[in-house]
Amino acid sequence: MIIGVGIDVAEIERFGAALERTPQLAERLFVAAELTLPSGERRGTASLAARFAAKEALAKALGAPGGLLWSDAEIWVEESGQPRLRVRGTVAARAAELGVRGWHVSLSHDAGVASAVVIAEG
């Protein structure tokens, strides 16, 4: 059963400018593993913007309650390239309240825009 669906978009250039203006922003929005590629290189702005959009979409799928921490949601990628969502803390608590048992995540970026869809399944 679908409990919630969220979608969000982020303008990549604008998101990159925000990261440049506020260097600590990346560390507030993402866990360390999200900031780097498996090779150890820093993840690109388009990829980070897509992950930010996924966190916004996640909040919408959970009914957009206050008090969710960005660092309590992590987007990671399987070897196949499929994105996955790992939750803990405030996000896991809200998901448990709603009866969420699984997540579906889709990320994309093209033509200067990053987008994400998150489906919460019970």
Looking at the whole model, is its pTM more than 0.95?
Answer: no
Q: What is the pLDDT of residues 51-98, one digit of tens each?
A: 999 999 999 999 988 889 999 999 999 989 899 999 999 999 999 999
Check if the beta carbon of residue 116 is closer than 8 Å to that of residue 105: yes
75 forms beta bridges with 85
- Please report how many Cα atoms fall inside a 13 Å half-sphere around the Cα of residue 90, on the Cβ side: 13
* Structure confidence at residue 66 (pLDDT): 84
Q: What is the pLDDT of residues 27-38, one digit of tens each?
A: 999 999 999 988
Provide the pairing of β-strand 113-121 with 2-11.
antiparallel
Residue 120 neighbours by CB under 8 Å, 6+ apart = 2, 3, 4, 5, 6, 58, 61, 62, 95, 98, 100, 102, 103
φ/ψ of 48, rounded to 5, equals -65, -40
* Structure confidence at residue 79 (pLDDT): 87
